[in-house]
Amino acid sequence: MQPVKFGIGQSVLRKEDDALIRGCGRYVADHAPADLLHAVVLRSPHPHAQFRLTDLDRARAAPGVALVLSGADTARLGHLPCQGEIPGVRMKVPPYPILALDEVRHVGDAVAFVVADTLDHAKDAAEAIAIAWEPLPNVIGAAAALAPGAPPVWGAGNLAFETTIGDAKQTARAFAAAARTVSLDVVNQRVAANYLDTRGVIAEIDAVDRLTLTLGSQGSHAVRDALCNDVLRIPAAKMRVVTPDVGGGFGSKLFVYREYALAAVAAQRLRRPVKWIADRSEHFLADAQGRDNFTRARLALDHDGRFLALEVDLLADMGAYLSGFAPFIPYIGAGMSPGVYDIAACHVRVRGAYTNTVPVDAYRGAGRPEASYLIERLVDVAAREIGVEPDLLRRKNFIRPAAMPYTTATGKIYDSGDFGRHLQRAQELADSAGFGRRLRAARSQGRLLGLGLATYVEACGSNGPETAAVKLDEDGGITVSVGTQSTGQGHQTAYAQLIAERLDLAPAQVRVVQGDTDLVASGGGTGGSSSIPCGGASIAGAADKLAERLMERAAQALEAAAPDLEFAGGAVRVVGTDRAESFADLARAARPGEPPLSCEHSFVPEAATYPNGTHLAEVEIDPETGAVSLVDYVVVDDFGVTLNPLLLAGQVHGGAVQGIGQALMESMDYERSTGQPLSGSLMDYALPRAEDVPSLRFETCNIPCALNPLGVKGAGEAGAIGSSPAVMNAILDALWRAYRIRHVDMPATPERIWAAIAEAKRRHTL
């Protein structure tokens, strides 16, 4: 058989891009059914307050208004569900109502839902609603929330949950026997997921009271099931959820939000379509945010610099409510605390705290970037304190390839990996050996230069089960139906390549159906870098079954034995001849009444996959201003198997830039006394631009995953996991060399770095 032109490992151009670059994409906001009404949400200006709606009649009588919903109107509905349970832990889960009834707990909390014939009329009516507010004390920040006497967000105490991982006694014994201990406190600040298209929903209802919701999501089935089962309390058969094009999800579009239920209720009452689209400022007040941990860690070392034990105390800010998977995020991150290192003993305490802020939840990497940042910063600090180069200390303590499969002290089982290999390759690409020369040149110009690396491992690829169907169409093409959801990753192209690998069919002849609960029977959605490891494995399994049936049908038509046949360009032919049957011919060869050739396959992951890699950053700092320039960036990853190098590079680049943004500039801040958000728009919340990031160089050093049928390990989140610690280690390398500055928290803004330098100079003069 000839090499497969469009199969695994080929840099096939994205099928999706033709429509998108011509402006022919179809996003939620583009959907405009006839007789459409528009909605706005009235939100709280207070971080914590009791309230009373004193006059709704004025708003209801305003021009164009069709409906005004208050908390009293939605009290019969179920609450937004928290599905992120921590094994063996009883959590304090407060109600998360669709509209606040008489008390709000963060700026942006939803108070009323106004529907009118135009968006302007809806906004005018919302402004006309009279509210009597009684402000209550608020608390910002998890540490402040757990301090004695802190204002309660929910009754007595703000502790949402507490759990531990690892062996406390073994860890204590290792610390007692240590020759040296190193400690570090780090802040992993709150960030906001800024996708291209803000969230939105259009709710429609038909003559038999069946709802159709068109919304941007990372999985239509999960949204439908949560809305029907937990909130609206209707059979799932009474709702269809459609997800069109999505311009990024990053975890934050996984969940059910209030507006989806509100639009559904409004459409039921009014018997007309209702549309709500968030504006960008509203996004900062209503969408789940990410990170926001304060972590204290200690590392025990022996006389030779080998790691003996790790102790971690992690405090996670949950915001005012428990969003979908929120409690589970710091817990799964805590399990990755040992990173790539052979650490025999580990103990982690994880606590969650309620504060008067927007709820947090999964954000690209979901706990694993936080774990990687902590251990990679801690290892750099340890290296400097014991007088060893950071790369050498890492090499001494890496888990060896011969030790695989390796069980960490937190119970994770790494199936494969050679961490020293990709570290070495990253250093070669970055010319680490020539850093001294570049350092001297920078100093001669009054600049600081720093080189930082981070070697990460993450757990992903375990969402499932996922079922895929692969069907032969009458025109000889293939239709793939699967419950994952593309939010920009390129599923149309990647899944077509999996079909090409087995059937030698051009991508143009493969149609992928996602994001419609009527057209796809079930689906786990996209999250945790599982689309290819889980959804792709399902598609590959279904395609293998279809290939077998095609061979059987072709063998009959060609009067040949199946072993003598091969796939070739959308046909089955006898090897070494021109005798062939096209897929279209085989589709037409079906007997009358015989259903189309279609096969299904379900894949259930045995365990998580563990992608890993090295990020290496070189930065230049102007000591007079604190400004940081990222002058070089290298990534070398182990993703098991590369399906499409172009798509993979795009995923790594995008993730790395998100991590770079968190390291240098992004922060969702609140004013501590008033509880008001200080980052309420893109005028206040800094995002990285092209000029902030150099051309990234990316390679792979793949070792196939032993537990996945495709050998893949997952890649969607990896870029965001290694990037923040690499950039911060580079910054601290420069600051340590020049001023012996041990640590600066993210984001490393010019102001923060300038202040650290000024303080170091002041200490030096004392």
Query: Averaged over 1-25, what is the pLDDT?
Result: 88
Average pLDDT, the chain: 96
CATH code assigned at 259: 3.90.1170.50
Yes or no: say if 36 and 670 are a contact pair by the CB < 8 Å rule: no
Span 163-218, pLDDT tens digits: 999 999 999 999 999 999 999 999 999 999 999 999 999 999 999 999 999 999 99
Burial of residue 466, with CB atoms counted within 10 A of its CB: 0-12 exposed, 13-18 middle, 19 or more buried: buried
Average pLDDT over residues 382-388: 97
- Across the range 502-506, mean pLDDT stands at 95
Tally of structural domains, the chain = 4
Kindly report, residue by residue over 407-429, the tens digit of the pLDDT.
999 999 999 999 999 999 999 99
Does 585 lie in the same domain as 518?
yes
Query: Is 11 part of any domain?
Result: no
CA 143/CA 147 separation, integer angstroms? 6
54 within domain boundaries: yes
Same domain, 241 and 260: yes
Same domain, 276 and 333: no
Band the pLDDT of 1: cuts 50, 70, 90: very low
Q: Is residue 4 part of a domain?
A: no
* Pair (714, 619) in one structural domain: yes
736 plus 597 within the same structural domain: no
394: nearest Cα among 320, 317, 301, 474: 301
Q: Is the predicted pLDDT of residue 573 greater than 60, yes or no?
A: yes
- The verdict on residue 706 lying in a domain is yes
Q: What is the pLDDT of residue 103?
A: 98
In 150-289, beta strands by DSSP E:
159-166, 180-191, 200-205, 211-215, 239-242, 274-277
Asked if residue 356 belongs to a domain, the reply is yes
Q: What is the pLDDT of residues 670-723, one digit of tens each?
A: 999 999 999 999 999 999 999 999 999 999 999 999 999 999 999 999 999 999
Q: What is the pLDDT of residue 3?
A: 55
Q: Based on the fold, state whether residues 448 and 535 are members of the same structural domain.
A: no
Which pLDDT value is given to residue 2? 53
Which of 269, 286, 303 terminates a domain? The answer is 286
Does residue 394 share a domain with residue 297? yes
Residue ending a domain, among 576, 603, 630, is 603
Same domain, 444 and 532: no
pLDDT of 492 over the 90 cut: yes
* Residues 669 and 744 grouped into a single domain: yes
Does residue 613 surpass a pLDDT of 90? yes
Cα–Cα distance for residue pair 467/541, rounded to 1 Å: 10
Residue whose entry in the numeric block shows the structure tokens 């509905």: 77
- What is the percent of the chain where pLDDT is above 90? 96
293 and 208 inside one domain: no
Question: Is there a single domain that holds both residue 483 and residue 562?
Answer: yes
CB 373 within 8 A of CB 188: yes
Backbone angles phi, psi at 588, to 5 degrees: -75, -20
Helix (H, G, I), strand (E, B) or coil at 754: helix
Q: Is residue 258 part of a domain?
A: yes
- Which CATH number fits the domain that encloses residue 711? 3.30.365.10
- The pair phi, psi for residue 650, each rounded to 5°, is -65, -40
Give the residue-averaged pLDDT of 124-146.
97
Q: Could you tell me the sign of the dihedral formed by the alpha carbons of 403, 409, 415, 420, in that order?
A: negative
Is 267 domain-assigned?
yes
Domain ranges, residue 98: 31-136+197-286
Question: Within a domain: residue 64?
Answer: yes
Whether residue 156 has pLDDT greater than 90: no
| CA dist., res. 36 & res. 271, Å (int) | 10
Going from the C-alpha of 146 to that of each of 33, 88, 353, 596, 649, the distances in angstroms are: 49, 22, 7, 61, 42
- Out of 603, 633, 662, a domain closes at 603
CA distance 630 to 731: 9
- Does one domain contain both 235 and 113? yes
- pTM value is 0.96
pLDDT for 440-455, tens place per residue?
A: 999 999 999 999 999 9
Q: What digits encode the pLDDT tens for the residues 635-673?
A: 999 999 999 999 999 999 999 999 999 999 999 999 999
What is the mean predicted confidence (pLDDT) over 29-54? 97
**For residue range 75-119, what is the model confidence (pLDDT) as tens digits?**
999 999 999 989 999 888 999 999 999 999 999 999 999 999 999
Which two structure tokens, joined as six digits, stand for 239?
A: 């709702």
Q: How far apart are CA 493 and CA 344, in angstroms?
A: 43
What value does the mean pLDDT take over residues 519-525? 95
Higher pLDDT, 594 or 609: 609
